[in-house]
Structure 1
């Protein structure tokens, strides 16, 4: 089964819940990219799936209040849900599959997410984490992944939803095939 997601870098991403975006409207990938860039200095993702947000430093550095509040809500939702449910989402002890970005030549490539990262992203989507938080999590996990590309991919993942991502994860992660010269087309595949 192939799923094709359609979205544009500058157009709003449809299918994003109000809980997970900015000012109650559609999140656009330019804003997500900017927010994820800012959050890189203040977020830490732990191997147990929890995250730590240094809100005090972010506030001191002049980070937008709305972004701080959204990220604090994400931190609380993610961490309390993991504590309550013992969620598999971030347990990184055994993670079949690979996580990497690979350029296939020219303008195409593959973003691979192992089983644990796939589960973590699906979990974050399920609880309504903000796009910038999800972009930051993927970028922290796959260091070589350009944040601009990850911002576009997360927009597509939010539109597709956690169920679609989980459907393609057969226990060893997923591949996301992309065309850089046609960023609106993304295909999923199982590893």
Structure 2
């Protein structure tokens, strides 16, 4: 990229202040804006810094949004812990710490994978354009995990997820079944009385 940036700087340096450098990781192409003069003088090190910064911010943003969705689900699921005679706040703290640790680990893996695979696709130098500052209004955008899961790429409704039940060694005893102790009473009137 350095010869192309040097060439653009020498020929059109007075015309452009910022340029957009496309960097691809094989899956996505990221448009990295950087200062043309700084990129030319630093032998494209400025482009690499801008790419690293953009990828880290991108992965952090994606990981944080996913973590917030998971924390919201955790908040709803922890409310059932009081039925199990457990402290919901303590469970929430432990699980949220585990979620955060997992988020940081996944974010690091994803950002390193993108940075290691990043390359500049070659194209003609006449395709140079001025970088524009773009701001997106994210205040109106909302994505909830359930809506995200239900939306699929081909437009077909997503399949409902099955709730996993715990594995039981023995068959569950119903309230009106005979008590397994052999007394002849219903389970709800014998050993299941306090439940």
Select the structure that is richer in strand: 1
Larger relative contact order (CA 8 Å, sep ≥ 6)? 1
Range of TM-score over shorter length: under 0.3
Select the structure that is richer in helix: 2
Which of 1 and 2 has greater Rg? 2
Instruction: Give the TM-score normalised by the residue count of structure 1.
Output: 0.23
Instruction: Give the TM-score normalised by the residue count of structure 2.
Output: 0.22
